[in-house]
Amino acid sequence: MTPFQTIGVDFKIKNTNIEGRDYKIMFFDSAGQERFRSLPRSLYKMAHGIFIAFDLSDKQGLESVEKWMEEIKLSQNKCPKLLIGTKSDLPMAYDKDIILSFSRNNDIEYFGTSAKTDTYVKEACDYMAFLCIEYISALPPPMPVYQNQQPLNYLYHQNQNDNGQRSACKC
């Protein structure tokens, strides 16, 4: 069986229950290929959590992570991020200490996973969901947008001037 290769951005939805509440988790897989590098930039800005995955059996994997982390930093999104080493069932191209040092130096938590043996995949997803819930609950509430209303950056007073016209002030 050959694995599926993502071209562009792949999208999956997972419904889950965490601490008695139902959540819909949306995953966007942005492929990681250089030619698709610009696609996830808009996704980073709206993300509530980001997995940065690399192949543990490929010596080039960790180098790619540095490039992706720079892209994420440019988005200025402060959401939680997890470093995910994939294919932990294969011989590793890295010493584990190098990965852990990279993780510490970049202030990002690390999970070594294997989809083939189902090692730490669920744990990484559950932990990310927990981090996202904490992150979202700490965000200020969104400004309400009402249909047929003026933009929220204007405050309108219902005062009438001497000519009988309503006046507005820009705050």
Q: Is the pLDDT of residue 152 over 70?
A: no
pLDDT at 74: 86
Q: Per the domain annotation, does 5 fall within a domain?
A: no
| 51 falls within a domain | yes
Which long-range contacts (C-beta less than 8 Å, at least 24 apart) are formed by 118-125? 119/88, 119/89, 120/88, 124/51, 124/82, 124/84, 125/14, 125/25
Residue 3 is assigned to a structural domain of this protein: no
Is the per-residue pLDDT at 126 higher than 70? yes
68, part of any domain: yes
Residue 153 lies in a domain: no
In a domain, residue 152? The reply is: no
Higher pLDDT, 83 or 27: 83
State which residues form the domain around 16.
10-142
pLDDT at 39 > cutoff 80:
no
Q: What are phi and psi of 37, to 5 degrees?
A: -60, -35
CATH number at residue 134: 3.40.50.300
Q: Give me the number of domains the chain comprises.
A: 1
Between residues 118 and 157, the one the model is more confident about: 118
Whether residue 91 lies inside any domain: the answer is yes
The residue ranking higher by pLDDT, 55 or 2, is 55
